[in-house]
Amino acid sequence: MVPSDFFFPEQSAIKESVMLRKLLLGLMVVILPVLAGCQPPGTGTGTGTPGAAGQGGGGTDILMSILPLILIFVVFYFLLIRPQQRKQRAQREMLQQVKRGDDIVTTGGMIGTVIKVDRDDNLLVEVAPNVRIKFMRSAVAEVVKRPQPSRATGDEDDAADAEPEDNAGGGSSPPKGEKS
């Protein structure tokens, strides 16, 4: 059986980023409570005068207790929320740009060519010769655009250019030393 990474290599990159996020989340769960429990130097109640800890440190105690929560939110924003928003924006833009002639892959894994784009977000997709299926635009997972020909003259020139390369080892001319 062929691994799924063979057909969809971008899935391995997604798996790696998910694993990295889980690792960082695990580290945050372990480290941040430890940091929240630590007190800054000089605020301990074990030494000094009895009232010294409570006289001027009220504002810094509140700040030190809220700081880990702010830090957690910032880390979550940059590791989870922001990349997800970018991914959704790119998906929306890709879906809006689907046009006739594009090769697409649906979320179910069906591959086909867009034949018609309706106004009500329906796509008519040809998945085999004379087999057409109607899909919602939101069912498109990926758009694989056809490569555009580099020349405006057509495919005849491309076939003529490729012919000498295919016959380089010995085509119509006899090898040296033999007579035709």
Q: What is the mean pLDDT of each run of 10 residues along the chain (180 residues)?
A: 52 65 71 61 52 57 89 93 94 91 94 92 94 94 77 50 46 53
Within this chain, do residues 110 and 28 fall inside the same structural domain, yes or no?
no
pLDDT of residue 165: 45
pLDDT of residue 152: 55
pLDDT of residue 33: 66
> Which regions of the chain does DSSP assign to beta strands (E)?
103-106, 111-117, 122-128, 131-136, 140-144
Look at the chain and report how many structural domains it folds into. 2
Within this chain, do residues 89 and 64 fall inside the same structural domain, yes or no?
yes
What burial class does residue 104 get, using C-beta atoms within 10 Å of its C-beta: 0-12 exposed, 13-18 middle, 19+ buried? buried
Structural domain including 67 reads 4-39+59-96
Within this chain, do residues 9 and 92 fall inside the same structural domain, yes or no?
yes
pTM: 0.47
pLDDT of residue 59: 74
pLDDT of residue 160: 46
